[in-house]
Amino acid sequence: MMRVSVGNVQNLLFEVLRREGVDEYSSSAVSKGLTHASLRGVDSHGIRLFRHYLAALNAGRVNGRPKFSFSKSSPSTSTLDADHAFGHAAGMKAVEETIQLAKASGLGAVSVQHSTHFGAASFFGLEIARNDMIGLSFTHSDPLIAPTGGKKAYLGNNPVCFTAPCDGEQPICLDMATSTITFNEVLRLRGEGLSAPFGSGFDRDGRETADPNEIVSLSPVGGYKGYGLSLMVEVLCALLSSAPFGPNIGHMYNDPLDSKRNLGHFFLAINIEKFVKTASFKHRLKQLVTELRQQERVDLDKPVFVAGDPEKVTSEERREKGLPVNSDDKEFFQKLATRHDLPFHVLD
């Protein structure tokens, strides 16, 4: 696998967007957001999406120069009409407001409407936690989960993201899809001719199958519980924002690229200082995660992690060694760099 430096690729994405007429705020949010996900090892939501994002921009689905419009409805709540911006830009704009609301009134929540794919939910949750608040970040997504007992995918594997600041390290971060595996993983298994773990997906008749070619919907984590969590996220993202719900949203890949997605997101910040001293909270969270990491191990060579630990390990490694790119993406980035006369170096 070839690698490229984080700074190099983030700069490339930013400059390409700028030259495609995207405003500075959006270019910055998208280039940071995609790089953020790749750095943490969440490649499905990382720089490989840039090709799709550019295509969606050029086809008119995404608005590179959005007029953001907030309606503040109470001391702690606001709605953002994102004007079909890149989801990363819409989300980051909303999160800045969420933090301001919580600073002033203890809690802040922003509902986002008319948005698009926002990448990894952690990008927004972690921004809240870096401001010494507890963050929650949600989006709905393409239908991949069938209701328990139903045959057809209806809800997305809508992510639940929770973050909290911690002494002496990056915030803890749970960023989980509500399915046991992702559809990208199913595609990978198909490509490599491998079986899926039994119980990770259903065929068109709603029966569990290990054949990735037969999988049309994903198993929610814990069965009806994961389905319930998906429904919770759908209610927060679609019903508080007047966005379409379930299979009625605009689909990422299956709809024409000039069609709007009209996605909704929901962000919540809890101002820790309004409950306990922030310093004491962070100190006690450090104690809690330290006790968890020091638990006696089942296998001596497998560490006990806390939510976000694997991503911290990967971040450190990739910051040093660079982000992996496959040859297709490398070629794509190389072409963009050449076309716009921008630097792009493969590290090895």
- In the range 5-34, which residues lie near its own copies by CB under 8 A? none
Closer to its own copies by CB, 14 or 227: give it: 227
CB of 314 to its own copies, least distance (A): 15
Smallest gap from Cβ 22 to its own copies, in A, equals: 29
- Residue 264 contacts residue 243 (beta carbons within 8 Å): yes
Query: Taking contact as CB under 8 A, which single stretch among the options 116-124, 187-195, 295-303, 327-335 is the one that binds its own copies?
Result: 295-303
How many C-beta atoms surround the C-beta of residue 76 within 10 A?
A: 19
Angle between helix 87-105 and 122-130 (nearest 10): 30
Candidates 191, 192, 205, 327; binder of its own copies (CB under 8 A) is 205
From CA 41, how far away is CA 242, in angstroms rounded?
33
Cβ-contact 161, 119 below 8 angstroms? no
Smallest gap from residue 323 Cβ to its own copies (A): 24
| Alpha-helix residue ranges (DSSP H) falling in 193-274 | 224-234
Measured from the CB of residue 231, what is the shortest distance to its own copies in angstroms?
A: 6
Shortest Cβ distance from residue 227 to its own copies (Å)?
8
* Residue selected from 11, 58, 100, 148 as contacting its own copies according to rule CB under 8 A: 148
Residue 296 touching its own copies (CB under 8 A): yes
Q: Which of 47, 218 has the CB closer to its own copies? A: 218
How many residues contact its own copies, by CB under 8 A?
76
Give the pair of three-digit tokens for residue 262.
């009209």
Establish if 207 lies at the interface with its own copies (CB under 8 A).
yes
Residue 134 found at the interface with its own copies (CB under 8 A): yes
Compute the residue count for the chain: 348
Residues 297-326 that bind its own copies (CB under 8 A): 297-299, 302-307
The only residue of 242, 250, 252, 342 in contact with its own copies, by rule CB under 8 A: 242
**Cα–Cα distance between 211 and 109 in angstroms, integer?**
42
Residues 54-113 that bind its own copies (CB under 8 A): 73-77, 79, 105-109, 111
Handedness of CA 336, 339, 345, 348 (dihedral sign): positive
Structure tokens at 181: 């595996």
* For its own copies, the closer CB: 2 or 239: 239
Out of 125, 147, 156, 201, the only residue in the binding site for its own copies (CB under 8 A) is 147
Distances (CA, A) of 111 to 59, 102, 159, 210, 268: 26, 14, 16, 38, 9
Interaction with its own copies in 163-182: which residues (CB under 8 A)? Answer: 164, 172, 174, 176, 180
Taking the least distance from each CB to its own copies, the nearer of 287 and 338 is 287
Q: Which of 61, 100, 106, 104 minimizes the C-alpha distance to 84?
A: 61
- Secondary structure class of 169 (helix, strand, coil): strand
Among 210, 232, 257, 342, binds its own copies (CB under 8 A): 232
| Piece of the chain touching its own copies by CB under 8 A; list 2-10, 27-35, 283-291, 315-323 | 283-291
Segment near its own copies (CB under 8 A), from 57-65, 159-167, 311-319, 333-341? 159-167
Cβ atoms < 10 Å from Cβ of 341? 8
Question: How would you classify residue 199: left for phi > 0, otherwise alpha for psi between -120 and 50, otherwise beta?
Answer: left
- As measured in angstroms, the least distance from the Cβ of 209 to its own copies is 13
| Nearest-angstrom CA–CA distance, 317 and 320 | 5
Per the CB < 8 A criterion, the answer to whether 139 and 121 are in contact is yes
